[in-house]
Amino acid sequence: MSELLAVTRDLFDDVMVPNYAPAKMIPVRGEGSRVWDQTGREYIDFAGGIAVNGLGHCHPKLVEVLKAQGETLWHLSNVMTNEPALRLAKKLVAATFADKVYFCNSGAEANEAALKLARRYAIEQFGEHKTQIIAFHQGFHGRTFFTVSVGGQAIYSDGFGPKPGDILHVPYNDLAALAEVISDKTCAVVMEPLQGEGGIIRATDAFANGVRALCDKHNALLIYDEVQSGVGRTGALYAYQGLGVTPDILTSAKALGGGFPIGAMLTTSAIAAHFKVGTHGSTYGGNPLACAVAEAVLDVINTPEVLAGVKQREQLFRDGLAAINAKYHCFAEIRGQGLLLGAALNDDYQGRSRDFSLAAIEQGLMVLVAGTNVVRFAPSLVIPEADIKEGLARFEQAVAQVVQG
């Protein structure tokens, strides 16, 4: 048996494409909301793998299901179907507005499918002229060339040559701006009900309802990107359910697999009918391993106890962050909903969100950023209250470190 390769952070620089700049520490084990690195140092996880680990690390139910499925059936092509995929699809349909589900591997792939379906539907229903897609500044919808072009952040899409056409961007939460450009040529409006990468910005009720009305007026589909806001993150299974607005297409990923890669696009039967056999596909989409784990995730999260617990934990975070800000005066506001929260930095600390993130690591806490001006929190939905308290204490030490220099 060959010896295990000694792994250090320097090895990343030797063998990996340099599109990431990971932290110096290397986590090797996780349990619940705590992680340990190669040296045995413990960290509290307020990042959740960017809102992915909705049930924390190595949740016993997910481990049990993964082991059982791993000993049963790993993969089939979509020439066949499988039991875990159909069970998961049935549960997603039962829990949402949707009639039909398409499985893939990631949020980007789910959004790619949604955008392609919207265009196919519009062209077949209304004609070749109806191809315009409207999205919002600071939106984020994935890293395929189509989805990154629809996302409203040019920094991610510039520099790769000609972009897919007939895409417009308008300011988020600005209904008048949308009304000015939407027309009968618009095939779809795509939005996050709670912008994640763009700064943890919630859609106002008036905006969400107004977008729905404008889409209806112009026979445009409304696509909700719930890759980050879905699967319990806001205290509802999907954020649209708390807004009282129903989309035509919804995308889901991240927490859906609890850490195992899976994405899904949900829609109605009438719209789904336009993806006829052969029009779209995914080799790994509907993989039995992924779907078995995701079914277990859904079973645990989609319960009154867990969803109510998200809102209770949100208040603990808000109270704790307010107490920190009362001492150090570095946040302009605490944004977001449920356990997708952002501490927006005030004028004195603009551009320094990464400084807070790095200081947190030094204090044994994992947090995220959402741009240069927002510190983002997306912990496990079932994080123990004791871990919230301890994590906020560590975050206060990190804030003091930044503020006091």
CATH of the domain at 341: 3.90.1150.10
Q: Are 197 and 241 members of one domain? A: yes
Q: Are 267 and 225 members of one domain? A: yes
**pLDDT score, position 329:** 97
Q: Give the list of residues 6+ apart from residue 326 with CB closer than 8 angstroms, or none.
A: none
What are all long-range contacts of 99-102, with beta carbons under 8 Å and residues at least 24 apart? 99/267, 99/268, 99/269, 99/272, 100/266, 100/267, 100/268, 100/269, 100/272, 101/264, 101/265, 101/266, 102/264, 102/265, 102/267, 102/272, 102/275, 102/280, 102/285
Q: Are 100 and 136 members of one domain? A: yes
Q: Is 143 annotated as ligand-binding?
A: yes
Q: Is 225 annotated as ligand-binding?
A: yes
Q: Are 249 and 279 members of one domain? A: yes
Q: How far apart are the C-alpha atoms of 200 and 210, rounded to whole Å?
A: 20
Would 94 be classed as within a structural domain? yes
**pLDDT score, position 5:** 86
**pLDDT score, position 2:** 57
Q: Are 276 and 390 members of one domain? A: no
Structure-token match 């009154």, residue found: 304
* Tally of domains within the chain: 2
Q: What is the mean pLDDT of each run of 10 residues along the chain (405 residues)?
A: 81 95 95 97 98 98 98 95 98 98 98 98 98 97 96 93 96 98 98 95 97 98 98 98 96 98 98 97 96 98 98 98 98 98 98 97 97 97 98 98 93
Q: Are 314 and 279 members of one domain? A: no
Q: Give the list of residues 6+ apart from residue 104 with CB closer than 8 angstroms, or none.
A: 110, 112, 113, 262, 263, 264, 265, 282, 284, 285
Would 3 be classed as within a structural domain? no
Q: Is 157 annotated as ligand-binding?
A: no
Q: Is 227 annotated as ligand-binding?
A: yes
Q: Give the list of residues 6+ apart from residue 4 with CB closer than 8 angstroms, or none.
A: none
Q: Are 78 and 47 members of one domain? A: no
Phi-psi region of 12 (alpha: psi -120 to 50; beta: other; left: phi over 0): alpha
Q: Are 225 and 366 members of one domain? A: no
Cα→Cα distances 285→113, 173, 237, 253, 270, Å: 12, 34, 22, 12, 22
Would 68 be classed as within a structural domain? no
The angle, 0 to 180 degrees and rounded to 10, between the axes of the packed helices 83-95 and 288-301 is 30
Write out the catalytic residue numbers. Answer: 140, 225, 254
Domain final residue pick, 231, 266, 301: 301
Would 67 be classed as within a structural domain? no
Q: Is 283 annotated as ligand-binding?
A: yes
Q: How far apart are the C-alpha atoms of 336 and 348, rounded to whole Å?
A: 21
Q: Is 8 annotated as ligand-binding?
A: no
pTM equals 0.96
Identify which of 379, 397, 392 has the alpha carbon closest to the alpha carbon of residue 33.
379
- Quote the domain boundaries for residue 195: 73-301
